[in-house]
Structure 1
C-alpha cells in the first residue's frame, strides 16, 4: 500500500510532504468512489432503456426477417451451380440446425451484448471524465457522458445489425448464385453425407460438455491469475496503470474482472458448438469418417492445451490428440484453438493456422497507454475513408461527372442500383488514396489527414485484415506497372464507372485525358487492377456500419449538389453571371 501511495503522490503532484501525499491519495480514493457510485446510478437509470431498445430491436430484426432468411437461403441453395447435388443435400440437412442456432444464439447474444453495453457504457463514461483537466469539466462530463449517447448508440447498433441482415446477407447469397461459371464446383460424394451428419452430431455431443467442464474447472485459475496480473501492474506502474488518467478505469477493470471470466466461459461454450459442427467439414475435406471423429477428440485436447498456455499452467495435455489430417491445409482452411496475435503479441494472424476457441483476455504484461495511443484506431480509418469519399464526390460533382440525380436515385433504390455511386465512387476514392501513397513514397497507405497506416501501427482488427493486405498488394502491382499519366487516368475511369451501357456512356463523356493502351495485354492488366479494387470495396460494403456511414456521405453530397445548383441559380439573376460562367468554364 505504501508503494501505491508513493506512486499516486508522485504521479499527481510534486512531493510536498507526508501530509500532502496522504491528502492526494485520499482525494484519488474519494474521486474513485464518487465516480463508482455516480456511474452505478447512471447505469441503473440509462441501462434498462438502452438494453431494452437493443434487445427488442435486434430480436425484432431476427424474428421479422427469419422467414425471408429461410427463403433466400433455400432459393440460393437451389439456384447455385457452385456446389453439386450431394453437397446441396448435406447443407439442406444441416439448415434446420443452423437456423435454430441463428435464432437461439442470435437472440441470446443480443441480450448479453445489450445488457453489457447498456449498463457498463454509462459506468465507464463516468470514469473517463477523469481525463478532463478542470474539476468543473470532470463534474459536468461525469453526469452527462454516457446517458443520451448510450441510448443513441443502442439505436445505432440496431440499425447496423438490420443493415447486415437485410442488405449484407442477401449480397452474399447473390454472389453465391451468380458465381463464375468457369470455376470448378464444390462436390461431395453421396456416401459421405451420412458420415458428415454423424460426425457433426458427435461433435455436439462430445465437444460441448467437455469444453464446458474444462472452462468451468479453469475459470477460478483465470480469475485469480487475472487479478494477480492487474495488481502487479498497479504496484509496478505498468500497462493500464502507467498513465494517471487511466488509473480509475483500470481500477474498474479489477472490480469487474469476474464478469470477464464469466463471459469467457460463455464464449467457450458457444464456440464449442461451431467447433463440434466443423467436424462435418473435416469429413468432407478428408473424405474419412475416422478422421472426422479424430478431429472431435483432438479439439478437446487442443482446447485443454492452449488454455493451459493462457493461464500458465502445466504444458501440454494428458488428453489424446489423434491426427486428423492427411496433409497440412492452407491457413484459411484450418480451424483449431490457438490464440491470436492480439493476445499473444507474437506472430501475424495469417501465420497461424489456428483460431482461439475460448476468447481468454490477455494475462501477459499489457502495453503502456502511450504505446496504445500511437496505434491508429479503426474508427479513425473509417472516419477518414468516409471524409475522403465525400471530398472525392464533391470534386466529381464540380466536374459534372456525377449528378444529384444519380445520388438521389441511389438513395431511393433499395439495392443500390446505380453501381457508379454504389461501388465506383468508393473504389475511385481508394484508388486515389493508393496513388497518393505511391507518390508520397509511403510504405503503407497515406490517409487524407496525413496519417500513414503501415504494418507497425495498423489496428489489430479482423475486419481490417480482410482488405488491408490486398490493397497493399494492389499498390505494389501498380508500382510495378509504371503506368504513364494517360494510363493512370484510364485506370481512374475504369474504376469509377462500374455498370452497364449507361456507365459506359458517362465514361465516354468524361474527358479526363485518359487513353486506352494500344497493347491489349497492358489494357487487361490495368482493367484487372480496376476489377480487384472494386471487388475489395464490394467486400468492404458488407462490413458493419459501412452502409449507414456511406448513406450519410451520399446525403451530404446531395445537400452539396442542391446548394451548388442553388448558388448557380442565384448568380444567374445578378450582374456577375457571365463572369461566373466564364470562370467555371476556365
Structure 2
C-alpha cells in the first residue's frame, strides 16, 4: 500500500502541483503586464481617445496650478504676517530679532523655490503614478469581471478629485494653520522665558550659516550621487531576493504585481532620495547659525558644519550595508545637550542590525533610504492600523458627540453655522470644545474598558504594537497616552468627571458652562480643582495642535455640516425656515 501511495505521489501529485504552480506564476505575469499597460494608458497622454487617458496631465496640472497659485497669492501676506509677529513677540530680544530678520530673505527664497519645485514634483508623481497604482490594486479583486471594471475605472475621476483635495488641504495649511502658529508666537510670550542673543554674536551666526550653505550643499550632493548606484543595486537585490524566496510583499500571490511595480519604479525612489539629501543639506547648513547661538561659540559652529558631512556619510554607510564609520573628520561641536535643540534626523525606525538609531542633535539628516532589511509580510502590514482609520474614527466620534449635545440642546444650530461662516476661528465651543470633549470621552471609555491604548469608537484598540509608524502620529499619540495615565491616576468621581467634561467643552468659560446641567460638582479641595482644570487645558492644547495638521480643517468642516443637517432634520422644519439653508451650508467656502 505504501508503494502505491509513493507511486501516485511521484507520478501524479507532484507533477500536478508543479503544473499548478507554473499556471499560477503565468497568471501573475499576465496580470502584471495587463495592469502595467492599462495603468500606463490612464496615467500618460498617449493615444488620447477617452477622458481616462488624460488623467495624469489633468490631475498634475490642477495640483501644480492650485498649489503654486496658493504660494504666490499668499506670499505677500506670509511676509507681512511673519515680520509683524517677529516685531510684536516678546519671546526673543532685539539681537535675535535682528538675526532672524536678516535670515528671512533666504528663508522666503527657499520657501518660494522649494515650494514651487516640490509642488511640481509631487503633482507629476501623483498625477501619473496614482492611476497606475490604482490599476494594480484593482487586479487584487477576486472576480475577473470586477478586475476588468475596476482596472478601467479606478484611478480616473478619483485621481482628479484627489488632486483638488490636496490643493484644498495645502490652502488650509497656508491660510489657517500658519497664522495660528504666528498668533501663538505673539501671545505665548507671557508664559515663556524670552530667548536672547548678544548683538556681537549676530555676525558670527550669519557667517556660519552662509558657510554651512557653501560647504554642506555641495558635499551632501557629492556623497548622495556617489552612493546612489549602491542604493539602486542594493534595493533591487533586496526586492529580487524577496521575489525569489517569496518573502515580504511577495508572500501573497495577489500582491506580486504591486511588488513587481516597486521593482520597476525603484530608480525613481533613488532619484527622490538624492533630491531629498540635497534639500536637507540646505537646512542642515543653516542650522549652524543655531549652533553658534546655543553654544555661544563661533568655533563650535564651524565644527558643526564639518561634522555634519561626516555624520551624513556615516549614516548612509549604515543604511546601505557599506563599511562602518567614516574617513571624514568629525569634530565635537557640543559641550552640553541643549533642551531646546532641534532634531533634523530623518530615519525609518530600525537599522540594518535591528537596533534603533539613537535620535539626538548630533545625527545628520539622511537620504530617504527605505528599510532594506527583509520586509514584513503583507498580512502583518494589513493588521496595522492605518492613519486614515484613526482620522476617520476621530471625525465620526466628533459627529456622534455633537449629535448627543444637540439632542441635549447644549449646542445649537446657530453655534454651528456661526463657526462655518466665521472667517477666522469662530466660536471656540465648536472649533475646540467639541473635539476636545470627544477626545475626553474616548479616553474615559478606554480607561473604563481597561485598555492599554486607545479604544476607538468601533471597538478597535490602538496600542503601541499596532499603531501606525508615523511621525505625525508620534506628536499626538504619546501625549494622549500620558494624559490618559494622568486622568486615571486622579481617580475622579462621576461628578468630577462631569465637571471635567463641562470645562473641556466650554474651554473653561464658566458663563457658558452654567447653562448645562449635567450633574457636575466642583470639588471642595482647591488643589483637586486645579488638577482637573489642568487636565482640561491639556486636552484643549492637544486638540489645538491637532487642528493645525493637514486635512483636519476640511474633515472637521464636513462634520459640522453633517451636524447642521442633523439638527435641521431633528427639529422637523424645512431648511428655508432657518437663517441658513442646508444648501447654503454645503456650499459655504473655506
Q: TM-score, normalised by structure 1?
A: 0.92
- 1:393: Cα distance to partner? 0.1
Are 1:465 and 2:474 an aligned pair?
yes
Of 257-266 and 558-567, deviating more is: 558-567
Q: Does 1:113 find its partner at 2:119?
A: no
Counterparts of 1:498 and 1:478, CA distance in 2: 18
Which string of whole-angstrom CA distances, capped at 9 and with x for unpartnered residues, describes residues 49-89 of structure 1?
00000000000000000000000000001100111000000
Unmatched tracts of structure 2, length 5 or more: 1-12, 45-53, 576-590
The 5 A counterparts of 1:60-75 are: 60-75=69-84
Shift of 1:359: 1.4
Equivalents in 1 of 2:125, 2:248: separation in Å?
A: 24
Q: Please list, as runs of the form range in 1=range in 2, the aligned pairs for 1:358-437 lying within 5 A after superposition.
A: 358-437=367-446
1:406 Cα offset (Å): 0.1
CA distance in 1, matches of 2:27, 2:411: 60
Counterpart in the other structure of 1:26: 26
How far residue 119 of structure 1 moved from its aligned partner, in angstroms, is: 0.4
How far 1:364 sits from its partner (Å)? 1.0
In the alignment, is the contact (CA less than 8 A) between 1:305 and 1:316 conserved in 2?
yes
CA distance in 2 between counterparts of 1:72 and 1:202 reads 29
Structure 1 349/323 Cα, relative in aligned 2: closer, same or farther at 3 Å?
closer
For 1:138 and 1:268, locate their aligned partners in 2 and report how far apart those are by CA, in whole Å. Answer: 39
Write out per-residue CA displacement over residues 174-232 of structure 1, whole angstroms, 9 at most, x where no aligned residue.
00000141421011111110000000000000000000000000000000000000000
State which of 341, 355, 370 in structure 1 corresponds to 2:349: 341
Q: How does 1:123-138 map to 2 (within 5 A)?
A: 123-138=132-147
Q: Which residue of 2 aligns with 1:9?
A: none
Counterparts of residues 139-178 of structure 1 (less than 5 Å): 139-178=148-187
Give the 5 Å matches for 1:73-84.
73-84=82-93
**1:550 pairs with 2:556:** yes
For 1:344 and 1:517, the matched residues in 2 are separated by: 54
Give the Cα–Cα distance (whole angstroms) in 1 for the partners of residues 251 and 17 of structure 2.
Answer: 23
The correspondence of residues 287-298 of structure 1 with structure 2, limited to 5 A, is 287-298=296-307
Match of 1:519 in 2: 525
State whether residues 303 and 337 of structure 1, in contact with CA within 8 Å, keep that contact through their aligned partners in structure 2: no
Q: Deviation string for 1:313-346 (max 9, x for gaps)?
A: 111000000000001334x625455634167695
Any idea what SS the aligned residue of 2:139 has? helix
RMSD: 1.9
The answer to whether the 8 A contact 1:306-1:338 is kept is no
Which residue in the other structure is 1:233 paired with? 242
Is 1:59 equivalent to 2:65 in the alignment?
Answer: no
The answer to whether the 8 Å contact 1:299/1:336 transfers is no
Residue 494 (structure 2) aligns with? 485
What is the SS of the residue equivalent to 2:329? coil
- Which residue of 2 is the match for residue 183 of structure 1? 192
SS in structure 2 of the partner of residue 16 of structure 1: helix
Matched, 1:252 2:261: yes
**Segment of structure 1 superposing worse, 318-327 or 174-183:** 174-183
Alpha carbons of 1:239 and 1:423: their partners in 2 closer, same or farther (altered >3 Å)?
same
Which SS does the other structure have where 2:190 is aligned?
Answer: coil
**In the alignment, is the contact (CA less than 8 A) between 2:68 and 2:116 conserved in 1?**
yes
Alpha-carbon separation, structure 2, partners of 1:444 and 1:349:
25
Q: 1:414 Cα deviation (Å)?
A: 1.2
Give CA deviations for 1:260-301 in whole Å, capped at 9, x if unaligned: 101100000001000100000100100111000000000000
Shift of 1:358: 1.5
Change (3 A) 1:220 1:349: closer
Aligned length: 553
Instruction: Give yes or no for contact 2:314–2:326 (8 Å, CA) kept in 1.
Output: yes
Whole-Å Cα distance in 2 between the matches of residues 336 and 171 of structure 1? 23
Quote the residue 1:572 is aligned against: none
1:574 matched residue in structure 2: none
Counterpart CA distance in 2 for 1:47 and 1:210 is: 36
- By how many angstroms is 1:416 displaced? 2.1
Report if aligned partners of 2:319, 2:351 keep a CA contact under 8 Å in 1. Answer: no
Distance 1:343 1:153 in 2: 34
Partner Cα separation in structure 2 for residue 426 and residue 270 of structure 1: 36
Deviation, structure 1 residue 111? 0.5
Task: Give the aligned partner of residue 41 of structure 1.
Answer: 41
- Work out whether residues 15 and 21 of structure 1, in 8 Å CA contact, stay in contact via their aligned partners in 2: no
- Name the CA distance, whole Å, in 1 between partners of 2:465 and 2:357: 14
Q: Does 1:280 align with 2:286?
A: no
Go from structure 1 to structure 2 and tell me whether the alpha carbon gap of 1:143 and 1:427 turns closer, same or farther (over 3 Å shift). Answer: same
Q: CA deviation at 1:479?
A: 1.0
CA separation of 1:348 and 1:432: change in aligned 2, threshold 3 A: farther
Structure 1's 318 and 336: CA in aligned 2 closer, same or farther, altered over 3 A?
farther
Gaps of 5+ in 1: 1-12, 570-586
